[in-house]
Amino acid sequence: MVQRKIIINKITPNESTATGYQKRYHFDIVHKKGFKLRVCLFLQKRTGYKIRSLMEKICKKCALDPMSHSFKKLTERSGVLVYYSHPSAAKLYDDTEGILRHIDQMLAFHGNRKWSCIFDGDGFDIKHAVQLNMGIGLIRLLSEKYGETLHEIKVINPTWHISGMLKLLSSMINSTLFSKIKVMDDRKYSVFEFI
């Protein structure tokens, strides 16, 4: 289990001036599925102070519900940031504009660093495949802004919907970008193999 810090900012009046100063309170919690969100909401209600998180700067929907979109930073390996995406696990899989903004903000936040993505196709079916605007928008985003820093995209546990979608979108992707997409269909993979 991973330990995370939650920061609560409290503005306290200062007797010597009319302005306040910030006190930071740190709470160490163990991150479990949905547990962090419940602790944040409990602390907010209990203390009456807003809890800031990095995700609020990147994506407000994911700050409220971490399962809204599916694009998260996993780790860093050999100087390359590793992200994970599992579209079928996302509640708002059809929020094309929100997902693209989330990815753009996340990559922009980490600057011009090399990055790779593990794309988990487990559970990816027709309702995800018909989101062609999502695929086109992602290709445009990668081509225009983040293609140079992209190390690779590993597609694990692909369904035939993903294979069809990649064939359809391959005509829109330049060959350099397309060569960075590796489809790993030889067996069932776990994301933990890449951490």
Question: Three-state secondary structure along the chain?
Answer: CEEEEEEEEEEEECCCCCCEEEEEEEEEEEECCCHHHHHHHHHHHHHCCCEECHHHHHCHHHHHCCCCCCCEEEEEECCEEEEEECHHHCCCCCCHHHHHHHHHHHHHHCCCCCEEEEEECCCCCHHHHCCHHHHHHHHHHHHHHHCCCEEEEEEECCCHHHHHHHHHHCCCCCHHHHCCEEEECCCCCCHHHHC
In CATH terms, 59-194 corresponds, of 3.40.50.170, 3.30.70.60, 3.40.525.10, 3.40.50.1860, to 3.40.525.10
Parse the chain into domains and list their residue ranges: 1-52, 59-194
160-180 pLDDT per residue, tens = 999 888 888 888 888 999 999
Mean predicted confidence (pLDDT) in 89-102: 94
pTM above 0.85?
A: no
Out of 39-43, 71-75, 116-120, pick the least confident.
Answer: 39-43
Q: Is the pLDDT of residue 73 over 70?
A: yes
- What is the pLDDT, as a whole number, of residue 19? 38
Residue pLDDT, tens place only, 17-28: 333 333 344 444
